[in-house]
Chain A
Amino acid sequence: MTDKRALHPTETMLEEFATGNLSTGKCVAIAAHVELCAECRQRTSEIEAQATLAWLAETGSDSTESSSDYASLVDSIVAQPQFSDADEFAEQDAASPVREIHMHERSITLPSVLARIASDGLVWKKLAGGINQASVMLDDETQCEFLYMKPGSQVPVHKHQGNEITLVLDGSFSDAMGNYGPSDFVVRTPSHTHQPASDEGCLCFAVLDSPLTFTKGLARLFNPVNRYRFKRATSQRV
């Protein structure tokens, strides 16, 4: 039913990701998907290889002239220790984050980039319709959050002013356009109005680049709040 390729980042997104030309929020969502999807991982390394060749071609092979500035810079660099000693590895290992989170007695293994984010501590808030949300601040262009939909929950009908990326981490949800399971990368644009629901429960990571607008019933009352929430989540902190 659903075009399977549609549930991955587009080629353009992977290109922007591979060259570091995307907001942190979107990079994180793509990185998490790439960790779960061998196909996109492979594609990302191919794009990196192509981007490297383009970079080399653009910049030619002029080498840098020796100068005293340059020599002292090299001196200061080679005075630094290298990452080769076992104890430095041990330090890195010790810092590696917890990989699992527990949601209603289920233990869910997160992709490493999300585990890193979650290890700072998530603050869950209950929203309408059996939805729990934990916002994380990653940049000033997007609103990012973990969303947990309890079994049998339903998000009010809404549309987006911008794009919404939803990466399914565990369980599944569905809307009028299909049914989505682990590692699926669902992109909704301003033209979509949808009403996600989950029978079995679902943990997602979502990235919005502008606030949601609810389109039906009492939920519309939340609209000003949604905008406020978005502003707050993306406000710069000094």
Chain B
Amino acid sequence: MGNSISDGLPPPSVPRSRKASDSRTEAAAVADIAPAIEAEQEISDEKLLIAVGNSKDRQAFDQLFKRFAKRIFAMGMKLTRNEQLSNDLVQEAMLTVWQKAPLYDLDRGTAQSWIFTLTRNRCFDMLRKLKRQPSTVNADDIWPQEGEHDGNMVHEEQGSQEVEIAQIEAYYEQLPDAQREVVEQIYIHDRTHEEAAEHLQIPLGTLKSRLRLAVGKLRHLIGIEQ
């Protein structure tokens, strides 16, 4: 298997269209419009993953499944040399993609790299289980995804000391654009994390990590001043 020529699909190097898009369901929308496989090639893996994480977009997940199932199977064959295990790996890894998509952070790497490390982790755990090794640790302890353990920190940090509003505004202006727009969404427009991520077209995980960085920086600046 794996030797079939890609059934008339255009090569992956098809230039990506740069059309402006603010629709969160772009992936789904495009997939709806046409069976045009060509269109599927234009949507980046990151966009699909964002659609899955931010709006549980089933069509986008379907696309990711199509793009990665064989690759995951191949990694499984390489590490386990067992077809059944490799099929199980496809299932487990794609389930993790679905479950953890909201934690994907654009600022920390590509969607491919995210799926690669997540597949490695699932495979590592499968092999440990097969060898009946003690469950003292698992792959996610060995390769922690930063941001996974501190999802709540932003909430905890909301109750800060009293500071002059004007002072905060001055610091706020100093934040890098990417962080400032996140703070703006949450604290000025009073949007939920989910709404803000959708509006900015970034993964929820990225929103949270940028917010954490921004809040940390503001607190730091305020701390120095006092």
Contacts and interface: CB of A to CB of B under 8 A. Distances in A.
Contacts of B136: 116-117, 120, 136-138
Nearest to A27: B142
Contacts of A78: 56, 58, 61, 98
Contact of B142 (A90, A113, A136): A113
A38 interface: no
Nearest to B13: A61
Contact of A56 (B71, B139, B152): B71
A113 B134 CA distance: 15
A66 B53 CA distance: 23
Interface string A53-84: 00110111111101000100110011011111
A144 to B, nearest CB: 10
A80 B53 contact: no
B151 interface: yes
Interface in B55-79: 56, 58, 61-62, 65-67, 69-71, 74-75, 79
Given A20-B123, A137-B136, A138-B133, A82 B141 contact: no
Contacts of A28: 137, 142
Contacts, number: 147
Contacts of A92: 148-149, 151
Interface of B: prevailing SS: helix
Contacts of B120: 19-20
Nearest to B69: A64
B25 interface: no
A51 B78 CA distance: 13
Contact of B131 (A116, A136, A139): A139
Given A90-B152, A113-B142, A139-B128, A73 B137 contact: no
A89 to B, nearest CB: 4
Interface stretch (B15-23, B109-117, B181-189): B109-117
Contact of B141 (A52, A58, A66, A116): A116
A93 B139 contact: no
Nearest to A32: B142
B4 interface: yes
Interface of B: 2, 4, 6, 9, 11-12, 40, 53, 56, 58, 61-62, 65-67, 69-71, 74-75, 79, 91, 94-95, 98-103, 109-110, 112-113, 116-117, 120-121, 123-124, 128, 131-134, 136-137, 139, 141-144, 148-149, 151-152, 155, 194, 204
Pick the 4 closest A-B CB pairs, nearest first.
A84-B102, A89-B151, A52-B116, A63-B66
Interface of A: 19-21, 24, 27-28, 31, 45, 48-49, 51-52, 55-56, 58-64, 66, 70, 73-74, 77-78, 80-84, 86, 89-90, 92-93, 96, 112-113, 116-117, 120, 136-140, 236-238
